[in-house]
Structure 1
Amino acid sequence: MSPSRTLPSGRASTYHVPVLLHEIEELLVHASTVLDCTLGGGGHSAAFLERGMRVTGVDRDPRALAAARERLADYEKTGRFRALLGNYADLAEAGLADTETFDGILLDLGVSSHQFDDLARGFTFREGAPLDMRMGTDADVDAGELLNTIDEVDLSALLRAYADEPRAARLAREIIRRRERRPFATADDLVDAIRAVLGPRSGAPDFARIFQAVRIAVNDELAGLERALPALRERLTPGGVLAIISYHSGEDRLVKNAFRDWSATCTCPPKQMICTCRGEPLGETITRRPVNATEEEVDANSRARSARLRAWRLAR
């Protein structure tokens, strides 16, 4: 990262390095109240608070929430920061009043650096890591239980949809065959199954893609995002901005399509002669194309490589 874009003290964290921080700051520069739906280690929230904003942070991971509260304790004492335990897809259950709205809302999807690096959390394909991958206590099953109980048809569909895996059916059959001999328990079990199907030249990119697919299924991430998008739009103040960083093509597609539909004047079927929809856009898409991390940021934080940022503004 270039010297002009080095993170100020307090923004970088051993828990998580905030991605596309400067771009997010520019998008939310006029906000006075911000909802950080994926608080993580509090890197983005720290930047908002330094700018004088009031921040509500939400995270489904109790450990992430505790780390952020410790880091931002001074702001919490003054009342400018509060932290809520819960899933951004169910904000009412997290304790957020239905009537509460914000000038800016941020979603930074995916896994935090700390979650990924903590072997016990089971997000990594490193040797000996348990097959867990739960982001919070609200997940119904862990990755091991999912792989040991899901039927072949559903597993094949999962790998095809979430990992874009052309040999999804073969890999699903291999996983079923192997689990009949011994239940899947560690990352090694899944890596060995992948190698058996994709061949000895398969490596980290293949493992990462398939592990990510299992993680998405464990945490119901795409369904949660699809459910959350219209609910988050309703929590924007007039002129408020919704900014979303995604790391998976399925996530980005959902965000892109939602922003496109909300920005359209008419959403009626193309051949319908008379408009029966709302007849006006709900707001405007700010980012016509996704914003990617700079080479400098990727050099400093390799996990920013797949980040795609899109933003949308509610009409005034």
Structure 2
Amino acid sequence: MSPSRTLTASRVGVYHVPVLLPEIEALLAGASTVLDCTLGGGGHSAAFLERGMRVTGVDRDPRALAAARERLTDFERSGQFRALLGNYADVSGAGLAYAERFDGILLDLGVSSHQFDDLTRGFTFREGAPLDMRMGTDADQDAAELLNSIDEVDLSALLRAYADEPRAARLAREIIRRRERRPFATADDLVDAIRAVLGPRSGAPDFARIFQAVRIAVNDELDGLERALPALRDRLTPGGVLAIIAYHSGEDRLVKNAFREWSTACVCPPKQMVCTCRGAPLGETLTKRPINAGEAEVEANSRARSARLRAWRRAR
């Protein structure tokens, strides 16, 4: 059985359902080489490989990488696909050659379905789940260690910046008070602290928002994205496309602002009389507004609801 025939039957994988797949395929349709910076279970990469593209997949999660390699084993054997363990914030550290460039680069910033559903990974607020949330072994500490060691001022700032929580200071104080009595260990500990501050009517949307904020801090996601953006831009061939799916307002804001700045001819200070910057845009933004999942996709995969896709093309 050919690799393409094998994958056509499993475009929606058991490890992770790829989000906005048709839209991503359309944006990267002209690519011959693709860098999938968040390989996950290989759903997006499978589609690229079916189209005859050569794909390099990077993921910081060894288990995700193993699942993708098993799914795409025929392509790996043929040399059309390779998988590298590493963080998209430092793709050179994952083993990419300094001069290596790609026609298309994809960054899907979401947590995979498998990571959410695997209770032992600690991404969920389901009862009894450990407070872990590490995307890979490169994280400095897990969620429990973070919540048990961070000071009140920094915790309040984290909750305000990453969760848009108006009662961030109160929630930080409550977490500090509770951990002095007993260290945080499971999702129940954080859920109980949230309920104590937000009230008994607080529910899944509140838990999801605050758990996401802790996950972002554990994995250094926003700082990592800010470092990665210019590095990935410079990995594009002339005319290459960078497509990014964000799920958090802070992520989307970083992507939007970067694409806008790269698409601007002059970035000199407004009052400067003579242009001394690059004097020409580095490329063009392909998405005036973010692309969102349609009703049918959201109904089939509720985690696509918050997905926002933006794309940018490097100048030729």
Question: CA–CA distance in 2 between the matches of 1:91 and 1:216?
Answer: 19
Aligned residue for 1:3? none
Q: Does 1:177 align with 2:177?
A: yes
Aligned residue for 2:228? 228
1:261 alignment partner AA = E
C-alpha deviations, 1:14-56, integer Å up to 9, x for none? 1000000000000000000000000000000000000000000
Aligned residue for 2:4? none
The structural deviation recorded for 1:261 is 0.1
C-alpha deviations, 1:145-165, integer Å up to 9, x for none? 000000000000000000000
User: What secondary structure, in the 3-state scheme, does the structure 2 residue paired with 1:94 have?
Assistant: coil
1:184 alignment partner AA = F
Aligned residue for 2:187? 187
Question: CA–CA distance in 2 between the matches of 1:100 and 1:115?
Answer: 30
1:295 alignment partner AA = E
TM-score (norm 1): 0.97
User: What secondary structure, in the 3-state scheme, does the structure 2 residue paired with 1:34 have?
Assistant: strand
Aligned residue for 2:3? none
The structural deviation recorded for 1:10 is 2.1
Aligned residue for 2:47? 47
User: What secondary structure, in the 3-state scheme, does the structure 2 residue paired with 1:197 have?
Assistant: helix
Aligned residue for 1:286? 286
Structure 1 unaligned spans of 5+: 1-6
1:164 alignment partner AA = D
Aligned residue for 1:129? 129
The structural deviation recorded for 1:307 is 0.0
Q: Does 1:19 align with 2:26?
A: no
Aligned residue for 1:64? 64
1:285 alignment partner AA = T
Question: CA–CA distance in 2 between the matches of 1:160 and 1:11?
Answer: 38
1:49 alignment partner AA = L
2:168 alignment partner AA = A
Aligned residue for 1:4? none
User: What secondary structure, in the 3-state scheme, does the structure 1 residue paired with 2:291 have?
Assistant: coil
Q: How is 1:92-111 mapped onto 2 (pairs within 5 angstroms)?
A: 92-111=92-111
Q: How is 1:233-248 mapped onto 2 (pairs within 5 angstroms)?
A: 233-248=233-248
The structural deviation recorded for 1:8 is 4.2
The structural deviation recorded for 1:91 is 1.0
Q: Does 1:138 align with 2:138?
A: yes
1:191 alignment partner AA = V
The structural deviation recorded for 1:270 is 1.4
User: What secondary structure, in the 3-state scheme, does the structure 1 residue paired with 2:169 have?
Assistant: helix
C-alpha deviations, 1:184-225, integer Å up to 9, x for none? 000000000000000000000000000000000000000000
Q: How is 1:67-82 mapped onto 2 (pairs within 5 angstroms)?
A: 67-82=67-82
User: What secondary structure, in the 3-state scheme, does the structure 1 residue paired with 2:92 have?
Assistant: helix
Question: CA–CA distance in 2 between the matches of 1:8 and 1:123?
Answer: 30
Question: CA–CA distance in 2 between the matches of 1:282 and 1:33?
Answer: 21
Aligned residue for 1:33? 33
TM-score (norm 2): 0.97
2:189 alignment partner AA = D
Q: How is 1:134-173 mapped onto 2 (pairs within 5 angstroms)?
A: 134-173=134-173
Question: CA–CA distance in 1 between the matches of 2:216 and 2:226?
Answer: 13
Aligned residue for 1:90? 90
Aligned residue for 1:259? 259
Structure 2 unaligned spans of 5+: 1-6
Q: Does 1:306 align with 2:306?
A: yes
User: Displaced runs of 4+ in structure 1, greater than 4 A?
Assistant: none
Question: CA–CA distance in 2 between the matches of 1:107 and 1:229?
Answer: 10
2:177 alignment partner AA = R
Question: CA–CA distance in 2 between the matches of 1:271 and 1:175?
Answer: 47
